[in-house]
Amino acid sequence: MENKTKDAGTAKIEIDGKTYDMPVLSGTHGPNVVDVRKFYAQSGQFTFDPGFTSTASCESQITFINGEEGVLLHRGYPIGQLAAQATFPEVCYLILNGELPSKSELSTFNDEIKQHTLLHTQLDRFFDGFRRDSHPMAMLTGTVGAMASFYPGAMDSEDPEERRLASIRLIAKMPTLCARILKYNLGQKFVDPRNDLSYAENFLNMCFSVTAEDYKVDPKIAKAMDRFFILHADHEQNASTSTVRLAGSSGAHPFAAVAAGVACLWGPSHGGANEACLNMLHEIGTVDRIPEFIEKAKDKSDPFRLMGFGHRVYKNYDPRATVMRESAHEVLDLLGLKDQPILKVAMELERIALEDEYFAEKKLYPNVDFYSGIILDAIGFPKQMFTVLFSLARTVGWIAQLNEMLVDPTQRIGRPRQIYTGAAMRDYVPMDQR
Ligand code: CMC
């Protein structure tokens, strides 16, 4: 990657009467950064930013978010335009390569993905080791990591062809793996990929076909699935992507680094929020109970939070939530479920929360997970699969960000420091004197 930051002046940090000059850098969009890389060497002091609220951890040219304005761009293209006009494989190509593909480039890319959708049959035997009722995210964390053992060549991160192949393999095999996880939970036979179907259609077919009956993929449902994938494809330096970068910064196998990302995504503060949000909507159940839950969310002595609300970066409506909301209405309409109480609860909850002073003051808006569970539930996915579907879609972002890091000349192993507040140095006390 060619570093493109520009010189934007100097910041002065004064400590105990001594001034340290730190370069200020600018990018294409977004706030400038104070480059503190030499701060410790010069001052003997660290900067402190647990949770990285003020820290840019890398330079990246893939995705940009303006949280105040609710803007999300992939390689410069607004997410709303991509969701309305592109297909998921097209967005994958864009995220990986930096430009939208021509017709023939997209066709070659799609063909190559299709050549890598099969899993090694040995990997199927891995499933026998899991309990039937294992959480799908536990199985995904294990099996993505296990896939590293089949592709030892991918350890050679210096080789551009190995990096490219690892990306293609991951994007191609994740749907097959995720569908197998669903089938394993259900106790049904695995369904193999079909090359005559699109990426989303093939995934739906592997999930919902059974030996006794083919699944007829409704093109509109396939479109909704494809849009769900687009909306989750990348999101700059979120927790799981930063985890993938950190794991990969030691030179770890890319499949293992992605497995680390899957593990991080699992939590309810991140990708697990879609499952938690649908659970919450069911728990609320009826519109008349909403005020009670709003009060719980505002009560500081109650750990309850409105799931699918709030975001570290967006202090405005998450632009993905706008598309997801429309999609939820379309899918429920299509499936004749538009009178489902859950949709009414979601819409009313959103309306009441947006009018509430607490949520307005803290700038808490619906995020991508607020409506996504309603769509996935209507399509027929069990709740526990929701974060697996998020992982499938985010795989392209993880691998693109990892590959970008690997060719960044400024890249070094990620190694944060700390402020130590434990016991001061003391002498060992022999057992009989304690
Ligand atoms: N319900 C009620 N209060 C909330 C919520 C919520 N969903 N989210 C944040 N707050 C309050 C929080 O209590 C805090 O109040 P105070 O300043 O009085 O202490 C304030 O808003 C700021 O919250 P924070 O936890 O300091 O913010 P954060 O940036 O560390 O956390 C978040 C962001 C997404 C983890 C959080 O908003 C949250 O837990 N939301 C619910 C879970 C969720 O929907 N996660 C999905 C995120 S989007 C997809 C993804 O990343 O995977």
Q: What is the helix, strand, coil percentage profile of the chain, to 5?
A: 55, 10, 40
Are 25 and 8 contacting, i.e. CB atoms less than 8 angstroms apart?
A: yes
Q: Is 271 in the pocket of ligand 1 (CB under 6 A)?
A: yes
DSSP label at 160? H
Q: Is 272 in the pocket of ligand 1 (CB under 6 A)?
A: no
Cα–ligand 1 centroid distance for 261 (angstroms): 20
Active site residue 311: yes
For residue 307, count CB atoms less than 10 angstroms from its CB and return exposed for 0-12, middle for 13-18, buried for 19 or more.
buried
Cα–ligand 1 centroid distance for 393 (angstroms): 23
Q: Please enumerate in sequence order all residues whose Cβ is within 8 A of that of 222, keeping only pairs 6 or more positions apart, or say none.
A: 198, 200, 201, 204
Cα–ligand 1 centroid distance for 368 (angstroms): 13
Pocket perturbation via mutation, ligand 1, pick of 311, 317, 350, 386 by most ligand atoms within 8 A of CB: 311
- The tokens for 286 are 């009826």
395 membership: H or E segment, kind and range = helix 386-406
Q: What structural domains and CATH numbers belong to the chain?
A: 6-56 (2.20.28.60)
Residue with tokens 């030691």: 250
d(CA 75, CA 216): 35
Pocket perturbation via mutation, ligand 1, pick of 235, 269, 317, 350 by most ligand atoms within 8 A of CB: 269
Please report, in angstroms and rounded to a whole number, the separation of the first and last CA atoms in the chain: 57
Q: Is 306 in the pocket of ligand 1 (CB under 6 A)?
A: yes
Global confidence as pTM:
0.95
Residue with tokens 């390689």: 75
Per-residue pLDDT of the chain (434 residues; tens, 9 = 90+): 999 999 999 999 999 999 999 999 999 999 999 999 999 999 999 999 999 999 999 999 999 999 999 999 999 999 999 999 999 999 999 999 999 999 999 999 999 999 999 999 999 999 999 999 999 999 999 999 999 999 999 999 999 999 999 999 999 999 999 999 999 999 999 999 999 999 999 999 999 999 998 899 999 999 999 999 999 999 999 999 999 999 999 999 999 999 999 999 999 999 999 989 999 999 999 999 999 999 999 999 999 999 999 999 999 989 999 999 999 999 999 999 888 888 899 989 999 999 999 999 999 999 999 999 999 999 999 999 999 999 999 999 999 999 999 999 999 999 999 999 999 999 999 999 99
Active site residue 408: no
- Atom 41 of ligand 1 has which residue's CA nearest to it? 307
